[in-house]
Amino acid sequence: MALIEWEKDETVAVIKLNSGENRHNLDFALTFNRVLDEVIEDKDVTAAVIKSNDPKCWCLGIDVEWLMKQFTEQNFDNIKNCMYEMNNVFKKLLLLPVPVIAAINGHAFGNGAILSCACDFRFMRSDRGYFCFPEVDLGIPFLPGMVAFVRKAIPEYKFNELKLTGKRVGAAELAQHHIIEKACDDAESVVAESIAFAKTFNKKRGIFKEHKSRMHKHIIQIMDTEDKEFIEPLMLMISE
C-alpha dihedral sign at 125, 126, 129, 132? positive
Task: Express as a percent the part of the chain with pLDDT over 70.
Answer: 99
Residue 1: is its pLDDT beyond 90? Answer: no
Q: Output DSSP code: residue 56.
A: S
| Predicted TM-score of the model (pTM) | 0.97
Residue 178: closest CA among 149, 154, 203: 154
Residue 236: is its pLDDT beyond 90? Answer: no
pLDDT band at 237 (very low <50, low <70, confident <90, very high): confident
Distance CA 122, CA 160 (A): 19
pLDDT band at 240 (very low <50, low <70, confident <90, very high): low
CATH topology for the 4-198 domain:
2-enoyl-CoA Hydratase; Chain A, domain 1 (3.90.226)
What is the pLDDT at residue 238? Answer: 72
Task: Express as a percent the part of the chain with pLDDT over 90.
Answer: 97
Between CA 52 and CA 18, with CA 141 as vertex, the angle to 5 degrees is 15
Residue 209: is its pLDDT beyond 70? Answer: yes
